[in-house]
Structure 1
Amino acid sequence: MSALALPPGLILAGGRSSRMGTEKALLDLGDQPLLAHVARRLAPQVSVVKLNAPPGFPAPLALPLLPDTLAGQLGPLAGVLAGLGHLQPGETHLLTVPCDSPFFPLDLAARLRAQADDENSIVVAASDGRLHPVFCLWPRAIAEDLQDWLADPDNRRIQAFLRRHRMVTVDFSLIDTPEGTIDPFLNINTPEDLETARRFAGLLA
């Protein structure tokens, strides 16, 4: 296929933050909320940044809010479905990232786009032998199947859905710093994760 245009980007922040005990997207990392760091890192890589979160969520940077279209906080796939449903004419893909991973690569979108070899493949980031399925380039073509999949209350696991489709993985390297080695896809789920992220806050500059 021809070179894929910049896709819209969607930050997934519809989770319950149960392991953190508070809304993790709004916790401070350095001098900014975690979500603000994610949005600023994503913005140069996509055509527009929107936020998947419940109505009334206090989004920094005046991010456009895109709530789930399905009730019940069904997980990240519900956010993906909402994003695919708001693609504009001519937009063939949606890039998603989570709200709790502030160090993801600055070339994430470019490298995923480079591997979008047809309009049906899902392109997923990986590092250190692990998939990171919320860092993903989703084609519009899977929207109907995703809608049907989520109609079954037993279908919530993102990797189970990925196995229904052709999937391309893109491997990213770990980051070596004077403070140690960090996975660029580190996600902050617990207070201990937040302390780890603060050690590497220099990567946010």
Structure 2
Amino acid sequence: MIPPTTPPTVGLVLAGGASRRMGTDKATLAIAGKPLVAHVLKRLVPQCVEVAINAGNDTRPFAGLGHPIVQDPIPGQAGPLAGILAGLSWCATAHPDVAWMVSSAVDTPFLPRDLVARLHHERAEAGADLACAASGGRRHHTAALWPVALAAALYEAVATEGIRAVAGFTDRYRIAVVEWPSEPLDPFFNINTPADRDAAERLSAGAG
């Protein structure tokens, strides 16, 4: 359940990557009998007003999931910032009364169920502009809380300045870094290789 003090927030699953190290589309990779995107949606949907999926050139794997599909407004492989821009632009049109968006990579099946609430709380406490998650002493730049009002500045950074690294943009703002424990299970464990996929299967079985 979303705490009543948490501002309305839309969600975005970043599923437009090339999955080069995996050798196949990660979004449709099965973990515990379900595609990765389904695991992330299950965690994120209860925390958000609505969740969209940022897809690459092929949107067919997501057509039957019942969620809006948004594609990068920047041509070529412009990286996760282009996906975040797509999400912010969609939110501004689809939910003009919602001021916040949370993003997550598609390869994090154990995403925290309190992601949105904690990011909002820590951002407000710190008086920061935005917030991102961390675990094990490492920031997870795509597991982040974004003001929808940043869309224009983000477009300028990606389209005009050629910024590609998420930190290259977020470092311009006050950011609250919110730490989650990485034991016994890192909620931001991400799947990049076949070995990671096997580990996720074991972790999923252990987590029930």
Global fold match (TM > 0.5):
yes
Structure 1 residue 61 displacement after superposition: 2.4
1:79 pairs, out of 72, 78, 83, with 83
Letter in 2 for 1:72: G
* Residue matched to 2:183: 175
Change (3 A) 1:201 1:132: same
* Residue matched to 1:95: 102
* Residue matched to 2:48: 46
Structure 1 residue 203 displacement after superposition: 5.9
Structure 1 residue 71 displacement after superposition: 1.2
Q: What is the CA deviation profile of residues 129-160 of structure 1, one whole-angstrom value per residue up to 9, with x for unaligned ones?
A: 11001100001232211111102464101111
Letter in 1 for 2:133: A
* Residue matched to 1:104: 111
SS of equivalent to 1:198: helix
Change (3 A) 1:203 1:83: farther
Where is the helix percentage greater, Structure 1 or Structure 2? 2
Question: Aligned residues: percent identity?
Answer: 40
Q: Could you tell me how far apart the structure 1 residues matched to 2:14 and 2:163 are?
A: 18
* Residue matched to 1:145: 153
Q: Could you tell me how far apart the structure 2 residues matched to 1:67 and 1:77 are?
A: 12
Stretch deviating more after TM superposition (26-35 or 49-58)? 49-58
Q: Could you tell me how far apart the structure 1 residues matched to 2:107 and 2:35 are?
A: 10
Change (3 A) 1:17 1:48: same
Q: Could you tell me how far apart the structure 2 residues matched to 1:203 and 1:84 are?
A: 36
Task: Provide the alpha-carbon RMSD of the alignment.
Answer: 2.0
Q: Could you tell me how far apart the structure 1 residues matched to 2:39 and 2:207 are?
A: 7
Letter in 1 for 2:61: P
Letter in 2 for 1:169: V
Letter in 1 for 2:84: V
SS of equivalent to 2:71: coil
Letter in 1 for 2:81: L
Q: TM-score of the superposition, structure 1-length normalised?
A: 0.90
Pairing 1:193–2:201 present: no
- Structure 1: segments with no counterpart, 5+ residues: 177-181
SS of equivalent to 1:35: helix
Stretch deviating more after TM superposition (119-128 or 143-152)? 119-128
* Residue matched to 2:19: 17
Stretch deviating more after TM superposition (113-122 or 5-14)? 113-122
Q: TM-score of the superposition, structure 2-length normalised?
A: 0.89
* Residue matched to 1:116: 123
- Structure 2: segments with no counterpart, 5+ residues: none
How many pairs are equivalent? 199
Q: What is the CA deviation profile of residues 23-42 of structure 1, one whole-angstrom value per residue up to 9, with x for unaligned ones?
A: 01101101111111111111
